[in-house]
Structure formats: C-alpha cells, structure tokens
Amino acid sequence: MPLTALDRSLRKNTLEAINARRSVRSYRPDELERSTIQTLLEAAVRAPTAMHEEPWAFVVIQDQALLKRLSDLAKPLFVEEARHRTVHGHSHSFDHFTRPDFNIFHGADTLIIICARPTSQFVAADCWLAAENLMLAATAAGLGSCVIGSAVAALNIHKVKAELGIPDDYSAIAPVVVGVPGGETTATSRKEPKILFWKK
Ligand SMILES: Cc1cc2nc3c(=O)[nH]c(=O)nc-3n(C[C@H](O)[C@H](O)[C@H](O)COP(=O)(O)O)c2cc1C
C-alpha cells in the first residue's frame, strides 16, 4: 500500500526520536511538571501488551533526598551482583559505584519505576516496551532519560517496596530516570543488525 505524505512524516518523526534517544547521565536541576510526567506515562501505556493485560503500575519519585538514599542502598548491592557476574565470565569496571559522590540516578529530577505483578510470561516484556515508549516520548519532548538497571535489586527489597507504596505481590521491573539534559550526549555506536535467516 503506498504511503501518504502524512504516513511518511509520522514515520520520519518516529525514526528521528529513535535516533535521537541517548542514555543521558548529566542533568540540570530543573523540576519536571506533573503534566509532563503524565504525558510520559500516557505514552508508556500505549505500548503493546500481551493478552491486553496492561500489567504496569508506576511509582514517580521527585525527591532528591530519597533518590540519594536509594542510590546509596543500591550501590553495594549492585557491586556485589556485578562481582558475581564477573566470576561467571563477564568483565566490566564498576569502580565508580564505590565512590561516595556517585549517584546511580545521575542527578535526574525524576525516577519513574515501572512495576507489575509477575503473573504471566510476558509481564516483564510489557514493562520494558512501556519503558521504551516513555523514553522516546521524553526524547520527543526534549528531555533526557536513562534506564537504571542498577537500582532493580534495591527497589525490590521488602522495606523499600513498602516505603514506595509497591504492594508485596508487585515487582519493580523497569526504573527509568527523566530530566532536563545537562548538555549534549554523543550517540553510542551499534553493530550492524546480525541477520541469522532471511528467506524470500
Ligand atoms: C536493562 C538496562 C539496564 C541499564 N542500566 C543502566 C544503569 O544502571 N545505569 C546507567 O547509567 N545506564 C544503564 N543502562 C543504559 C545502557 O548503558 C545504555 O543503553 C547503553 O550503553 C547504550 O547507550 P544508549 O542508550 O545511549 O544508546 C541500562 C540499559 C538497559 C537496557
């Protein structure tokens, strides 16, 4: 089916956002408005969702003291996990995680944690797709974002979940920070798509 001019321009805008997204690790202290966060959440929930379950629920943290406390809790847990992975063959330096001034949330104004009850096989996939939607919407709005996988273990500690209003039967799956970028972030490289099979 031929593309209309509108289809073409939509496609270009989507690709532009995809190509402009970066993991931003430097932020200005500017506060994000509630309406901005609401727009990002609405983009998140437009993600595809297995069996239309829409399993996601969101925690929004815009309190820097709480983010610092969570960061300090997360760092040793993550380093421990990383050591374990190193023993099993992966090597990556996590030295900066031992620096007292290193904040795993990179000083971003807002942390959005996508949570869900892990009830079925595709719940995590749903949450990560929602995370990508959210990050692309943030990019389109001129905001920076970054997935903070290093926070996952800490966010799933029982006491932390209780403090953040995450019910016992939910897990914190995809933590993403959002904020006004502190500067330009260069694009990281990508390998060419590796095609295993393509039959015409
Ligand atoms: C599951 C996952 C976990 C990640 N965890 C972290 C993290 O804890 N801290 C961080 O700064 N970046 C984290 N990232 C961002 C990656 O480092 C980043 O996506 C990658 O280096 C490619 O760079 P780009 O996003 O700018 O293209 C994570 C990304 C993913 C998908």
Task: Decide the pairing of beta strands 144-147 and 110-116.
Answer: unpaired
- The predicted structure's pLDDT at residue 84: 85
Whether 116 contacts 46, CB under 8 Å:
no
CA of residue 175 to ligand 1 center, whole Å = 11
CA of residue 33 to ligand 1 center, whole Å = 25
Pairwise CA distance, residues 105 & 70, whole Å = 9
Q: What is the CA radius of gyration of the chain?
A: 18
The answer, yes or no, to whether residue 134 has pLDDT greater than 70, is yes
Q: What is the mean pLDDT of residues 127-149?
A: 97
Q: What is the mean pLDDT of residues 142-169?
A: 98
Distance of CA 197 to the CA centre of its chain: 31
CA of residue 103 to ligand 1 center, whole Å = 15
- The predicted structure's pLDDT at residue 83: 84
CATH number of 25-179: 3.40.109.10
Which atom of ligand 1 lies closest to the CA of 174?
A: 1
- The predicted structure's pLDDT at residue 78: 95
Distance of CA 115 to the CA centre of its chain: 12
Each residue's pLDDT tens digit, 175-194: 999 999 999 999 999 999 99
Lay out the sheet containing 56-61: strands in order across. 56-61, 110-116, 171-179, 144-147
Distance of CA 143 to the CA centre of its chain: 13
CA of residue 18 to ligand 1 center, whole Å = 15
Report residue 8 as tokens. Answer: 């073409």
Each residue's pLDDT tens digit, 2-26: 556 556 666 669 999 999 999 999 9
Residue ranges with strand state E in 36-100: 56-61
Q: Which of 110, 177, 138 is nearest to 21 (CA)?
A: 138
Pocket test for ligand 1, best of 19, 22, 23 (most atoms within 8 A of CB): 23
Which atom of ligand 1 lies closest to the CA of 150?
A: 8
Question: Tell me, what amino acid is at 154?
Answer: A
- The predicted structure's pLDDT at residue 1: 44
Pairwise CA distance, residues 25 & 108, whole Å = 8
The answer, yes or no, to whether residue 41 has pLDDT greater than 60, is yes
Q: Which of 141, 140, 175 is nearest to 155 (CA)?
A: 175
The answer, yes or no, to whether residue 129 has pLDDT greater than 90, is yes
- Residues contacting ligand 1 via CB (< 6 Å): 22-23, 25, 146-150, 188
Each residue's pLDDT tens digit, 59-116: 999 999 999 999 999 999 999 988 887 766 666 778 899 999 999 999 999 999 999 9
- The predicted structure's pLDDT at residue 93: 79
The answer, yes or no, to whether residue 43 has pLDDT greater than 80, is yes
CA of residue 148 to ligand 1 center, whole Å = 7
**Contacting residues for 140 by C-beta, under 8 A, at least 6 apart:** 13, 17
- The predicted structure's pLDDT at residue 3: 52
CA-closest residue to ligand 1 atom 20: 23
CA-closest residue to ligand 1 atom 9: 148
Domain boundaries, the chain: 25-179
pTM, two decimal places:
0.94
